[in-house]
Amino acid sequence: MAGNAVIHLNNVDVFQQKHLVLSNVNLHIEKDEFVFLIGQTGSGKSSLLKILYGDLHIGNGEGNIAGFDLKNLKESQVPFLRRKLGVVFQDFQLLTDRTIEKNLEFVLKATGWKDAKLINERIKDVLDKVGLRSKIKKMPHEISGGEQQRIVIARALLNDPEIILADEPTGNLDPETSEEIVTLLKQISQAGTAVLMATHDYQIIRKFPSRIIKCESGVVHEDAQIA
């Protein structure tokens, strides 16, 4: 792998069933980069993210993410790949029947953590990172939408991922709260975890100038501009 790239796609074709969604994709993202992913509905953003978290197979071309060879990725390796990725997706929300602490503990136990003291320390650690340690005993419905999204980010950080994949993380939030979430994601990238954030929110893109990757007409532009 060249340089510090943690995402590396070379001439990849992205298929959904038999339908070629994106062709000849080249994508390189460095260790501490923050990158926006844009494109109209149906342009292939979700399909591209699926390639990256091992939910869609690479047809032609080659890819590497967090040290995993996507071309030869086995089913059995997918859980290990996912541990290197922090996923912040709208359809992957907090469990509503338990506290913030129990939500985070659930993920740690599911990913092999056993020592109660280490679990407790890790939970406090990630809550400190998102500035919400005081909410540890709260139920999800007792905190705001923006706070819930920060907890989802804390959850994504639990296993110290190399990359955060965020799909519309500000989709349901007001402009001010959206800015807080993106500020947090930017800080995370500056601390060495690459962030790839899919969004339709051009106001946010203007406010936080960063590299833009665009899906358009079946191809991916690695350095796009917005009007």
Q: Could you tell me the two tokens for 48?
A: 């591209």
User: What's the CA gap between 133 and 151, in Å, rounded?
Assistant: 10
Of these, 9, 33, 38, 44, which contacts ligand ATP (CB under 6 A)?
44
Cβ atoms of residues 30 and 76 within 8 Å: no
Cβ atoms of residues 20 and 219 within 8 Å: no
Of these, 2, 17, 75, 227, which contacts ligand ATP (CB under 6 A)?
17
Interface characters, 197-226, with ligand ATP (x: CB under 6 A): ------------------x-----------
Q: Does 91 help bind ligand ATP (rule: CB under 6 A)?
A: no
CB nearer to ligand ATP: pick between 39 and 146 = 39
Tell me which amino acid residue 29 is: I
Q: Is 144 helix (H, G, I), strand (E, B) or coil?
A: coil
User: What's the CA gap between 145 and 172, in Å, rounded?
Assistant: 8
Closest C-alpha among 59, 103, 66, 99 to residue 83: 66
Of these, 1, 4, 11, 16, which contacts ligand ATP (CB under 6 A)?
16
Tell me which amino acid residue 165 is: L
Residue 210 CB, shortest distance to ligand ATP, in Å, is 19
* Run of H or E including 7: strand 5-16
Segment contacting ligand ATP by CB under 6 A, of 13-21, 60-68, 99-107, 206-214: 13-21
Segment contacting ligand ATP by CB under 6 A, of 44-52, 87-95, 152-160, 203-211: 44-52
> Residues near 80 by Cβ (< 8 Å), separated by ≥ 6?
68
Q: Does 169 help bind ligand ATP (rule: CB under 6 A)?
A: no
User: What's the CA gap between 159 and 109, in Å, rounded?
Assistant: 11
Segment contacting ligand ATP by CB under 6 A, of 34-42, 65-73, 116-124, 173-181: 34-42
Residue 200 CB, shortest distance to ligand ATP, in Å, is 7
Q: Does 41 help bind ligand ATP (rule: CB under 6 A)?
A: yes
Residue 62 CB, shortest distance to ligand ATP, in Å, is 20
Q: Could you tell me the two tokens for 98?
A: 């338990």
Residues of this chain that interact with ligand ATP (CB under 6 A) are 16-17, 19, 21, 39, 41-47, 215
